[in-house]
Structure 1
Amino acid sequence: MTEANEDLKQVSYKVVRDENGNVKLECSTIGKQFVVEKISAQRRATKDAGCIASLEVLCIINKPTAASLAYGFEKKNNETILVFDLGVLEVGDGGDTHLGGDDFDKVGIFSSYALMHRDKGMDLLKDKQALQRLTETTEKAKMELSSFTQTNISYVACS
């Protein structure tokens, strides 16, 4: 829970601790809590595989981050690497290892939010469901950009 503290501020769902201190994701719409391990079972399976191989698994990172780190592994100088379509990763001592497609999602979500607030006077921060729909719409638009040079995000889909 403490490791994810900064990320928790940027998600539209609620993260809670159960009576045993375990982290759970709460979906208030359907009134259920989900165990994080079930949602992230693949990451857990990867960590378990490392432990079976007698490795001490400290952290599981996303594949794009791993590829970028591998690129800079034997570099002697600190440098900044642009990872096309994913984000920017600083290589060297104390570099930021948080990288992924969610970087672009966040920029798209913020831009869409700002436009909706300006043009329609809508404050989605007060409506978690509308913010979630905006997030999903923005992610869909990002995927469309894999096939097209431009796409539109409709205000109607998010209101």
Structure 2
Amino acid sequence: MNTSKHTLILSVALAGLALLGGCRSHPSGEDSVQPPSRQVAVVAGHHAAKPPMQAKEAISAVDLAGTFAADPGVAAKHFAHRQLEITGDVRSVDADGPGVPVLTLASGGSATDPRMVLGADAWSGVSTLKAGTAVRVLCSSVTFASGRATAGACTLL
């Protein structure tokens, strides 16, 4: 009685192993299913990478303001992940909330003039700028809020 019980258990165990082995490999012998931890790592790694920064695009403050005024959604998509070299005439130099310099460049209408947010270390370069001075600014991002474009992470060239 004991022998037939052991034989039955052994047969069931071998059948189970055969089924598991058959489900996990192709006829060529390669694994058909990656371990779950490998699948998660690939998916997580796929979304963690930032899109590459595209080449610089040169634009005037007047054209930047006009592009956002025409269609803010299209402009935001167009300028996403691009460095912008923005040229224009200084309308004003102000301090932002945390004390960083902000250049407002003239675009024809003071309410829509684009703003360039620089780093706190830029004060020495912008403190002598007067209204009407032509400048070039390199910025890594641009957003649209309150009816105007605001460029961030800017450097005075």
Asked whether the two chains share a fold, i.e. TM above 0.5, the reply is no
The TM-score range, normalised by the shorter chain, is under 0.3
Higher RCO, Cα 8 Å, sep 6+: 2
TM-score (norm 2): 0.18
Asked which structure has the greater CA Rg, the reply is 2
Question: Normalized per residue, which structure has more helix?
Answer: 1
Question: Normalized per residue, which structure has more strand?
Answer: 2
